[in-house]
Chain A
Amino acid sequence: MKKPADGWDADERAALDVIEPALDELQARHAGDPPIELLRAAHAEVLPDDFQRDARQWLEASDWNRALVTNVEAIDAPLTAGEQAGLLRRIRKGQADEQIVGRRLWVWQPAFAIAAVLVIVMAGTWLIWQAQTVPEVSKPPANQVAVASPTVASPVYVLSLDKPEIRISASSLTFRGDRGDNGLLADLKPGFDALRAGDYQAAETALSPLAGKYPSAVEVPFYLGVSQLFLNRPKDALTNLTRAEALADSSFGPDVSWYAAVASERAGQPDAARARLAVLCKQPNVRAAEACAVEQKLK
């Protein structure tokens, strides 16, 4: 029987002596199960496409592993009756405090109302006075020619900006922190959720602190750069995407280069964008056709 590194305590030893045969059988059946972090990542649908497909099939086929993931995720959801009662007490106390503050405000309300009426009367008087003192508009000379001022057109970009698919690199899946667990996946989740919801400001806020914590994870600078692109800050985006280019593996490389090209164009560096597209165009990858098509259009 597989024994944990911290061993059994006395209670466990006594119980396990009795149920060991059945437990042995259960351990043998699940000896080859994937690690829990991987199952959770699969359940959150953040694995690379081909890997995600296998993982989804696995979870659908294995009631045990599916239950493990849903149970882990449900742990912090329900409240006990005692916790509920405590929460209710705190809410009621908060309401009572608010009522006291509300009563204090009521004393000041007539004063606020009088002040507001005075402000409105003064503003009205000032507006009427202004209307009476506006000088008559002089007529233009007969020979004056009207010249239309040039209109400022919003910039049109050759490279379109689409939301990328949310993925995890293989190196992040196998990441191990100081305690031997994969905290990276859990830390990435809020940023990914915000990206999926299209809340790029929240995504940037969630991902920014991770840059220092996980300096070798390509997902952090990549999705941070993409968020900044959507927030119309191409220079910041380019800084992060350039960092991501240095970290990207073959699965992330084409996407990172594409978005770095988009950021370069929007940051006023079309030559840099064209250079990135030329490299993308020459290599066999998912962005090659798209890169070849737009490379020549970029002036």
Chain B
Amino acid sequence: LLTVVRNRARDLWRRQVVEQRYVDSFAPPPEAEPLPMETWILEHAALKPVHRTCLMLRYVYGMTRSEIASKCGLNETQVKGHLQYGLSLLRKAFEGVERT
């Protein structure tokens, strides 16, 4: 019984931590000028929504290919193809650009 109570309390505490983290995640974002790469990803005409999404989720948020596939309703091979296409354009655009 003690173990059950302890585990339930631990679950409750973890859930509260996660909920609080979600609430905190909507704290107002600091106002800042968009970064060149940010603007490029959002506005480059050769990118379709699927390329933008794959680039954002993998190279900015660090998701695995299978995570991206499940979020976008694609399979891993498709994700890999979209990433290759997007990354090749990104590389061409930012080759040699130093940290701003």
Contacts and interface: CB of A to CB of B under 8 A. Distances in A.
Interface of A: 2-6, 11-12, 15-16, 18-19, 21-27, 29-30, 32-36, 38, 51, 54-55, 57-58, 61-64, 67-68, 70-72, 74-76, 78, 170-171, 173-174, 179-181
B52 A24 contact: no
Contact of B53 (A19, A58, A71): A71
Interface residues of B, number: 51
Instruction: Give 6 nearest A-B pairs by CB, closest first.
Output: A34-B25, A2-B62, A71-B49, A21-B99, A54-B26, A74-B49
12 contacts: A4-B58, A19-B94, A22-B35, A26-B59, A36-B57, A38-B25, A55-B26, A63-B34, A63-B42, A64-B38, A75-B49, A174-B15
A223 B12 CA distance: 25
A19 B52 CA distance: 17
B39 to A, nearest CB: 9
A256 to B, nearest CB: 20
A4 B98 CA distance: 23
A70 B90 CA distance: 21
Contact of A58 (B18, B29, B64): B29
A33 B61 contact: yes
Q: Taking chain A's interface residues, is the majority helix, strand, or loop, or is none over half, making it mixed?
A: helix
Contacts of B59: 16, 23, 26-27
B25 A35 contact: yes
Contact of B61 (A22, A30, A181): A30
Contacts of A67: 42, 52
A174 B36 CA distance: 33
Given A6-B65, A63-B42, A71-B53, A174 B26 contact: no
Given A6-B65, A33-B25, A19 B91 contact: yes
Contact of B60 (A27, A35, A51, A61): A27
B70 interface: yes
Interface in B66-100: 66-67, 70-74, 83-84, 87-88, 90-91, 94-100
B4 interface: no
Given A3-B62, A11-B87, A23-B37, A75 B53 contact: yes
A150 B80 CA distance: 75
B48 A6 contact: no
B63 interface: yes
Contact of B19 (A12, A170, A180): A170
A71 B64 CA distance: 18
Contacts of B63: 4
Nearest to A2: B62
B28 A61 contact: yes
Contacts of B87: 11-12, 15
A75 B25 contact: no
A207 B15 CA distance: 25
Contact of A174 (B19, B42, B62, B96): B19
B45 to A, nearest CB: 14
B92 to A, nearest CB: 10
Contacts of A4: 58, 62-65
Given A25-B35, A68-B52, 19 more contacts: A4-B58, A18-B96, A19-B37, A19-B97, A21-B99, A22-B37, A24-B99, A34-B22, A34-B25, A34-B26, A36-B57, A64-B34, A64-B38, A67-B52, A70-B49, A72-B49, A76-B73, A174-B15, A181-B67
Nearest to A180: B67
A32 B32 CA distance: 14
